[in-house]
Amino acid sequence: MAVQTAAKPIKITETVLRDAHQSLIATRMTTEQMLPIIDKMDKVGYHSVECWGGATFDASLRFLHEDPWDRLRKLKDGFKNTKLQMLFRGQNILGYSPYADDVVEYFVQKSIANGIDIIRIFDCLNDLRNLQTAVKAANKEKGHAQVALSYTLGDAYTLDYWKDMAKRIEDMGADSICIKDMAGLLVPTQATELVQALKEGSNLPIQLHTHYTSGVAAMTYMKAVEAGCDIIDTAMSPLAMGTSQPATEVMAKAFEGTEYDPGFDQNLLAEIADYFRPMREEWLESGLLSPKVMGVNIKTLLYQVPGGMLSNMVSQLKEMKAEDKYDEVLEEIPRVRKDFGEIPLVTPSSQIVGTQAVLNVVSGERYKMLTKESKDLLVGKYGQTTKPVNADVQKKALESLGMTEPITYRPADDIEPQLEKLEKEMAQYKQQDEDVLSYALFPQVATEFFKYREAQQKKVDTSVADTENKVYPV
């Protein structure tokens, strides 16, 4: 007789409206493309839908001429039963460098006020001090604060390291922990050990976020769930796999009939997939979706480089007419990472390490030139690195910045409040409170957008006036 075990259904976060299109089509899905399907998505029974933050904010303003806040409100109107989730880069918010606490607090407050339920907060160095302000703000606004650990490999990253991190995350007041495996480096057996270590370190729910890049992700989820992982991230099949997440339908099917069965309706999932499939065809035809990001790229396990970082690197080399240096740069990345304290590679550290590796190779001399971001990282302006940085390279950075010693305090302690000044700078464009936050993150791009918005509104006004003045035949 089969032993009856208590059901512990796996919870699923759907990423099709954020990470999936960020990973596959450079974050170009529009609000208009999202809205018609959210009524059906709302009936699936997802734990949450990740639909905001990450690169969506920048891409909306910059490429789609959309107000990201307006998108969030529309999604909130549609998702009546499902929690909305966003990705937040700690003290960097949705930008690429640290902001003052007042901006971080206000951003969290407005995100929750406009509809976000769960904020996934990470730091590219796993320096928890960079998450404090955002976590506290989310607690204060009664949002769910999830702290994400940027997963990476290296001597420093022992099971004890992760276990200790889990304990510290619980102590700092987070509501759950996410393993953020942006490069798809976590293999199945290590997932078992990692989940167990995090469970030993804390009592918080554990969520696993990975990418299919190296081809192991679905197996990794299976092992993680068996080890006690509570929530996994998946994407509807037309936008799944490759550099995106494992497919929602596949994972739901894989757990069907087991104690982890999420209880999803496969017919409903098929209808949702049918909605996205023609879009996938269009993106393939237009070239926005490249076959390059769709298969399995095992190099990601060899070089431990996230997919997005590889494509950035290729375009930088193209610009410098040095495409033949690709393999050399690929080998240089781990060396720079080591000199920079064996840090995880995720926005913005991935860009910093990648750009420096390109410079080291193309200039023909390592660290002949240091980018501003490299210097800042080496002197502690992004926070504490996992291991000490290379002392010689750090000395060079300190000298060129006119500093005698690296920063050891929380970097944002140095940043004066910014909101008041920002409000003054952009007052002429302000149409809603949230506009100052768009401006804070991307001053130029937001200003362009504000001008575009005004121009559009004027157009609408004149067309209304035209209609009113028209004489219609009776």
Instruction: Please give the residue ranges that form the binding site for Co ion (CB under 5 A).
Output: 19
Nearer to Co ion, 120 or 337 (CB): 120
Contact in structure between 134 and 89 (CB atoms under 8 Å)? no
Nearer to Co ion, 103 or 149 (CB): 149
Nearer to Co ion, 59 or 103 (CB): 59
Q: Is the dihedral of CA 396, 402, 404, 406 positive or negative?
A: negative
* Least distance to Co ion, CB of residue 213, Å: 10
* Least distance to Co ion, CB of residue 174, Å: 19
Residue nearest to Co ion (CB): 19
Q: Residue 102 burial (CB < 10 Å; 0-12/13-18/19+)?
A: middle
* Least distance to Co ion, CB of residue 246, Å: 12
CA distances from 47 to 42, 118, 231, 275 (A): 10, 10, 8, 21
* Least distance to Co ion, CB of residue 394, Å: 30
* Least distance to Co ion, CB of residue 180, Å: 7
The C-alpha atoms of residue 17 and residue 19 are separated, in whole angstroms, by: 7
Helix (H) or strand (E) holding 147: strand 144-150
Helix (H) or strand (E) holding 379: none
- Among the listed residues 148, 100, 123, the one whose alpha carbon sits nearest the alpha carbon of residue 349: 123
Please state, as a whole number, how many other Cβ atoms lie within 10 Å of the Cβ of residue 474.
3
* Least distance to Co ion, CB of residue 245, Å: 7
Nearer to Co ion, 22 or 390 (CB): 22
- Among the listed residues 16, 146, 35, the one whose alpha carbon sits nearest the alpha carbon of residue 88: 146
Nearer to Co ion, 19 or 66 (CB): 19
* Least distance to Co ion, CB of residue 147, Å: 15
Judged by phi (left if over 0) then psi (alpha if -120 to 50, else beta), residue 178 lies in beta
Nearer to Co ion, 201 or 307 (CB): 307
Contact in structure between 224 and 181 (CB atoms under 8 Å)? no
DSSP assignment letter at 28: -
Contact in structure between 415 and 92 (CB atoms under 8 Å)? no
The answer for residues whose C-beta is within 8 angstroms of residue 1's C-beta and 6 or more apart is: none
Strand partners, 14: 49, 234
Nearer to Co ion, 307 or 383 (CB): 307
Nearer to Co ion, 241 or 358 (CB): 241
